[in-house]
Amino acid sequence: MKLTWLSAFDIISLSPGFDLSSLFEKDKSHRSDARFTTQKSASTIVSRLEEVASMGSFKVKKKDGTVKMQGSKEGRKGQLAIDAEIFEITPAFHVVQVTKKSGDTAEYSLH
Amino acid sequence: MGCFNSKVKKQFRGHEDPIALASQTAFSVSEVEALFELFKSISSSVIDDGLISKEEFQLALFKNRKKENLFANRIFDLFDVKQKGVIDFGDFVKGLHVFHPNAPQEEKVNFSFKLYDLDGTGFIERQEVKQMLIALLCESEMKLADETIESILDKTFVEADSNQDGKIDKSEWQIFVSQNPSLLKIMTLPYLRDITTTFPSFVFHSEVDEVAT
């Protein structure tokens, strides 16, 4: 899978200090995106995501550094769709950005 | 322009006129009023003085008033145009305006340039980028070898610093950003479009309507 390369500025802009959206949110648990870093290789990350997806009966599509997961069950606000975009800082260091694309936030948080 | 309901005027006494602010920014008058609700809650959280201090800003951003962060400091400093160490309502609205989805691209590019130009020399020097990179790695508890950091800086400067003088000037930044539009993602807050629903304004302003903006 071809991954997105991060420049120094891309990495710097990951800081929560730049994320003014917290000013507007009273409750952080309703965020529709999350980010985490990992020392695992890209292929390990992808396999892990595929594992999680199959446990929750998600269909998985891989495209340009993003693992797209689509729920098959109709939730309260339609099907749950989650994107996990993988960025490479070094081959042993990745950042995964998870975003809810559609569906109910409460169902998304469970996953 | 004398159609201002006297009840509304009392609310905004001591602060910049919402109609004036709306005319200078991407916000409508009712959006400015909604921002006032947010401003009131942030500016009264530590000391109720109608101004946002650095501590109150940190509290609003991180839910922790003692949390120091290099990048939040940069934003605070850029909002604090008059360099008084506090952000007033006018500063708040004009600062957030740049983050509005409808704000001109040029303003976002300029703001982001100033953000990264830590010492305000008009250039983003390699040393400054290194400092910010290290700060980010520190706060995310990520460890990278110095050679890795240097190689990330090398790659970045090869792309961004076209005249290879070790620093990025405004025009180099403009070109770099146009080739890498994701760099401006932090400069837009989609939330600002729904501000009137997130912070319903309790000001009844039947005489001040959208036509005025």
Q: What is the pLDDT of residue B212?
A: 47
What is the per-residue pLDDT across B66-93, written as a single tens digit (0 to 9) for each? 999 999 999 999 999 999 999 999 999 9
How far apart CA B213 and CA B210 sit, in angstroms, is 6
The amino acid at B134: I
Sequence-distant (6+) residues with CB within 8 A of A84 are A49, A66, A67, A69, A96, A97, A98
Q: Which domain holds residue B140?
A: 104-187
Determine phi and psi for B167, rounding to 5 degrees. Answer: -145, 155
How far apart CA B118 and CA B128 sit, in angstroms, is 7
Based on the domain organization, do B88 and B114 belong to the same domain? no
How far apart CA A94 and CA B4 sit, in angstroms, is 55
Sequence-distant (6+) residues with CB within 8 A of A32 are A99, A100, A105, A108
What is the per-residue pLDDT across B116-162, written as a single tens digit (0 to 9) for each? 999 999 999 999 999 999 999 988 878 889 999 999 999 999 999 99
Based on the domain organization, do B148 and B80 belong to the same domain? no
Residue B200 lies in a domain: no
Residue A76 per-residue DSSP state: B
Based on the domain organization, do B84 and B52 belong to the same domain? yes
Residue A6 per-residue DSSP state: P
Q: What is the pLDDT of residue B144?
A: 87
Global model pTM greater than 0.95: no
Based on the domain organization, do B109 and B171 belong to the same domain? yes
Whether B71 sits inside 8 A of A93 (CB atoms) is no
Whichever domain contains B127, its CATH number is 1.10.238.10
**Is the sign of the CA dihedral B170, B174, B176, B182 positive or negative?**
positive
Residue B156 lies in a domain: yes
Residue B207 lies in a domain: no
Based on the domain organization, do B92 and B19 belong to the same domain? yes
Based on the domain organization, do B150 and B178 belong to the same domain? yes
Residue B139 lies in a domain: yes
Residue B209 lies in a domain: no
Contact B172, B160 (CB under 8 A): yes
The fraction of chain A above a pLDDT of 70, given in percent, is: 75
Residue B8 lies in a domain: no
Which of B98, B127, B157 is the last residue in one of the domains?
B98
Whether A20 sits inside 8 A of B61 (CB atoms) is yes
Across the interface, of B60, B136, B156, the residue whose CB is closest to A23 is B60
pLDDT confidence band for A1 (50 / 70 / 90): low
Based on the domain organization, do B108 and B182 belong to the same domain? yes
Based on the domain organization, do B120 and B142 belong to the same domain? yes
What is the per-residue pLDDT across B10-44, written as a single tens digit (0 to 9) for each? 778 889 999 999 999 999 999 999 999 999 999 99
The residues facing A84 across adjacent strands are A67, A98
Whether A21 sits inside 8 A of B191 (CB atoms) is yes
Q: Is A91 helix (H, G, I), strand (E, B) or coil?
A: coil
Say if the ipTM goes beyond 0.90: no
Based on the domain organization, do B83 and B108 belong to the same domain? no
The H or E element spanning position B114 is helix B105-116
Task: Count how many domains chain B has.
Answer: 2
Q: What is the pLDDT of residue B180?
A: 93
Q: Is A19 helix (H, G, I), strand (E, B) or coil?
A: coil
Kindly list the structural domains of chain A, giving each domain's residue range(s) and its CATH number in brackets, ordered by start.
4-15+31-110 (3.30.310.80)
Which of B45, B72, B98 is the last residue in one of the domains?
B98
Sequence-distant (6+) residues with CB within 8 A of B95 are B75, B78, B79, B87
Residue B24 lies in a domain: yes
pLDDT confidence band for A4 (50 / 70 / 90): low
Based on the domain organization, do B71 and B111 belong to the same domain? no
Which of B75, B98, B121 is the last residue in one of the domains?
B98
The residues facing A44 across adjacent strands are none
Q: Is B152 helix (H, G, I), strand (E, B) or coil?
A: helix
Whether A7 sits inside 8 A of B63 (CB atoms) is no
Length of chain B: 213
Based on the domain organization, do B54 and B109 belong to the same domain? no
State yes or no: pLDDT of B206 exceeds 50. Answer: no
Residue B125 lies in a domain: yes
Looking at chain A, which residue has its C-alpha nearest residue B198? A24
Sequence-distant (6+) residues with CB within 8 A of B132 are A8, A12, B70, B71, B116, B118
How far apart CA B112 and CA B148 sit, in angstroms, is 25
The amino acid at B122: G
The amino acid at A74: E
Residue among A3, A10, A11 with most chain B CBs within 10 A, to mutate: A11
Q: Which residue has the tokens 């390990």?
A: A44
Looking at chain A, which residue has its C-alpha nearest residue B196? A24
Based on the domain organization, do B183 and B114 belong to the same domain? yes
> For residue B155, how many C-alpha atoms fall within 13 Å in the half-sphere facing its CB?
14
Task: Give the distance, in angstroms, between the CA of residue B6 and the centroid of all CA atoms in the same chain.
Answer: 31
